Structure 1
Amino acid sequence: MTLEVIVIAAIRIAGSLPVLRWPLLGGLLAILVDLGDLLLMGVLDLGGVPDYQSLDKWLDQFTLALFLIVALRWTRPARTISIALYTYRLVGFVLFELTGERALLLLFPNVFEFWFILVAAVGDDRVARWSRGRLAASLLVLTLLKEIQEWALHGARLFDSISALEAIDLVWRRLTGQ
């Protein structure tokens, strides 16, 4: 294990802990820190990250477990849906670890993360009053959004050939017209 892996893991773990105190802001912070590890890999030179996909998915499991701890305090149906979505992604994670096949992540999208943010934002007490149709529609939209993200990352691998720093530079140039 390289020092770079240790630094990235420590930052990801520390960035996930606030969710236990502040579900919405802590959840958003955890997601931002997760996105930031690619940036860290671009600027750190501490031995590299031999298997980034596996490291990322293990660290995701830590974050998702913290999200689940919070979600277990929620009322139904938010709690029940959270458990189901967490378990579904966990199955996908285990299969990914056994095979290394990134396409499995498309079959087992991390909808739990988006669901968690939604419930943290609106409140589990309000979700408890939603009709089955509204719950289904919400889950459908979240699943579609997550599938687009998973496809871009793991299906089309749109970001495999560009570093985080290059992506930031590209966005900056587009925004500033350079």
Structure 2
Amino acid sequence: MSVEVVFWGVVLARFGLPLLIPRFPLPAILGCLVLDAADQSIFQAFGHDPPFYQSYDKAMDVFYLSIAYLAGLRNWTNRAAGEVNRFLFFYRQAGVVLFELTGLRWVLLVFPNTFEYYFIAYEAIRTRWNAVRYSLKFWVLLAAGIWIVIKLPQEYWVHVAQLDFTETVADVPWFGPVVLAGLLGLAAVLYFVVRPRLRPADWSLRLRADPLPAGIDEAHERAAYQAAHRKVLDSAAVEKIFLIGLISVIFGQLLPGVEASELEVFTGIAIFVVINSAIGLWSARRGYGWDSALVSFGVVFATNVGLVFLADVVLRRRREDLSLDDTLFFVFLVSILTMLYDRYRPIHDYRMAEEAKVMADGGK
């Protein structure tokens, strides 16, 4: 097998596997986690060290975590869990932007990636239990436990101490046995202490995401909901601007060919998001919509490519701050996140509105 086939196979897997997270949340994000840890070992096994891959590796991490956040909008039924999820995601993204701008490694200790393990924990619970049963206090304590017990030590180890697990195991004879003993002890606590205290499971193992609400599971229903409840500039548009804008700033810092400033990247993305929102709202009010995510992405991508070249023609300038490859990459990024956000945010809002109606009726 050639090195090029292995390299592009890994890259395509890094971008393709996250797209399964909305339908198969737990196995897909665990697969992303494993692939993220194994990709460098795969390259080394074939004697390959791709230039700039460290930057692309970090960018692809941001990409799959963004898809996970959007999957939460699509699937999660507990309002409190979703609000904690939103805070953890944007808190981490703000920290990554600050780190990329300053280069201060301790920033990542202050802004740990609690979001990823919190998402995994929610989805692990949902496989057997109804997440609606749990209160805000439960989700906050769960996030705090992950933050303090798991992520702070991990962030310190990786980003502050800059230690490598494999090298430490090889250099420190007692380290490996201690880690193994700790893992066995944790497994024993979970099995003998936590497991007997768990409430009976609500259903058999569910790895696939739950069905969408019947009133919003088709494209024309999402379009009607958007037409009735959306404005070009509303809270959803602002969230989408920060979601895609922060991620684009991170990508702009990581990708070697991007010369635009952080403000230019964020402003340009914000303009694109607003234009996309206006086009999407116009389409929704005319009943346009596609059940196929692939078709929806194709329409959004083609529209954004057209907007990029139209902007260059109107401004009468050549694009010198971004290469063609980087430009198309950003268009791809904006298009896929815009498409998924516009598909999944109405589902989230519909669920929350239905929950509010139930609460107003006294929980009946």
2:18 counterpart residue number: 16
Write the distance in 1 (CA, Å) between the matches of 2:166 and 2:117. Answer: 26
Write the distance in 1 (CA, Å) between the matches of 2:165 and 2:52. Answer: 15
2:258 counterpart residue number: none
Q: Percent identity?
A: 31
**One-letter code of the match for 1:35?**
A
Q: 1:6 to 1:105 in 2, by over 3 A?
A: farther
TM-score (norm 2): 0.40
2:61 counterpart residue number: 60
1:26 counterpart residue number: 28
For these two proteins, the number of residue pairs brought into alignment is 168
Contact 1:110/1:146 (CA < 8 Å) preserved in 2? yes
Q: CA deviation at 1:43?
A: 2.6
Q: Which among 32, 35, 40 is matched to residue 42 of structure 2?
A: 40
Q: CA deviation at 1:149?
A: 1.4
Write the distance in 1 (CA, Å) between the matches of 2:166 and 2:124. Answer: 34
Q: CA deviation at 1:38?
A: 2.8
**One-letter code of the match for 2:155?**
E
Structure 2 gap segments, 5+ residues each: 181-364
Higher radius of gyration, 1 or 2: 2
Contact 2:95/2:111 (CA < 8 Å) preserved in 1? yes
Give per-residue Cα distances to partners, 1:110-139, cap 9 Å, x unaligned.
Answer: 111001111111129833322343222211
Contact 1:24/1:120 (CA < 8 Å) preserved in 2? yes
Contact 2:43/2:49 (CA < 8 Å) preserved in 1? no
SS in 1 for 2:100: helix
Structure 1 gap segments, 5+ residues each: none
> Which segment drifts farther, 105-114 or 133-142?
133-142
Q: CA deviation at 1:21?
A: 1.8
> Which segment drifts farther, 7-16 or 56-65?
7-16
1:127 counterpart residue number: 131
2:115 counterpart residue number: 112
Q: CA deviation at 1:72?
A: 0.6
TM-score (norm 1): 0.77
Instruction: State the superposition RMSD in angstroms.
Output: 3.2
* Superposition map of 1:84-103 within 5 A: 84-103=87-106
Give per-residue Cα distances to partners, 1:146-176, cap 9 Å, x unaligned.
Answer: 112111111111118839xx79xx97xxx9x
SS in 2 for 1:102: coil
Write the distance in 1 (CA, Å) between the matches of 2:100 and 2:53. Answer: 11
Contact 1:19/1:30 (CA < 8 Å) preserved in 2? no
Write the distance in 2 (CA, Å) between the matches of 1:15 and 1:33. Answer: 9
Write the distance in 1 (CA, Å) between the matches of 2:43 and 2:155. Answer: 20
